[in-house]
Amino acid sequence: MTTTTATRTAARVVDAVKVYGTGATGVRALDGVSGDFPVGRFTAIMGPSGSGKSPGALRGRSRHAHLGRRPHRRHRPEHPRRPPCLTLLRRDRVGFVFQAFNLVPTLTVAENIRLPLDLAGAAGDPEWIAALIDVVGLRDRLHHRPSELSGGQQQRVAVARAFAGQPDVVFADEPTGNLDSRSGEEVLGLLGRAVRQTSRTVVMVTHDPLAAAHADEVVFLADGRLVHRMAAPTADKVLDRMKAFEVPS
């Protein structure tokens, strides 16, 4: 039987642990977290400050971590000139969208989009890149540099760059944090379209219930643990759930 995108898993983590600091002052940002992220789904991760929702916490230890159908191994390869496995994984199988855009100012839009492919020495799929450019609506800006774009346009470039190498999963860290509300809505809508039109997977960290409402599902973390998953979220439902984490004064 053919497996559909709705039932396949893009990323899986089992018993993830991340500790900041040591000894009595150490903070367990992740404390045995396990979860799946299905192919073709837009998932938001939310939680109070210090709950472990940041993608930086993904650098923690995990008993098992899978991208697609293959397990991820952290060890350095035997060949001395080959990059570490974690570097290869981030370059070839994971895309990132950052709050601060992180575009290269001296490169054009087209060059920024192709940057991960060029760093990997890969030709990429021209049809895929062309389709991405249409999805993000940047065909008339390909020869512009970041300084000639609005914040929303720069983030659209960052989204296209994240998807350029056809990664298993794209992690977005507060992608609307530096945008006004209108541009933020455009970027969130773009992420949703990218998921639907490319059958890729997006995992977005956010503190904003309005942003989370664009996702197919919201995963809530608290005290380093996964405490709830909400399907078909709305801003009001997300806000009500977040209020449950507030400590009474």
Residue 192 scores a pLDDT above 70: yes
Q: Decide: 11 and 18 in contact? Cβ < 8 Å.
A: no
SS3 1: coil
Alpha-carbon gap, residue 8 to 11, rounded angstroms: 9
For residue range 5-60, list pLDDT tens digits in order: 446 888 777 767 766 667 666 666 676 677 788 889 999 999 876 555 565 545 55
Q: Decide: 11 and 36 in contact? Cβ < 8 Å.
A: yes
DSSP for residue 20: E
Helical packing angle, 109-120 and 151-163, nearest 10°: 30
Length of the chain: 249
User: For residue 197, what pLDDT is reported?
Assistant: 87
Assign 2 a pLDDT band (cuts: 50, 70, 90). Answer: very low
More confident: 91 or 102: 102
User: What percent of the chain has a predicted confidence (pLDDT) above 70?
Assistant: 72
As given in the structure block, the two tokens for residue 212 are: 């989370």
Domains and CATH numbers, the chain: 42-55+83-243 (3.40.50.300)
Alpha-carbon gap, residue 135 to 149, rounded angstroms: 17
For residue range 207-225, list pLDDT tens digits in order: 999 999 999 999 998 888 8
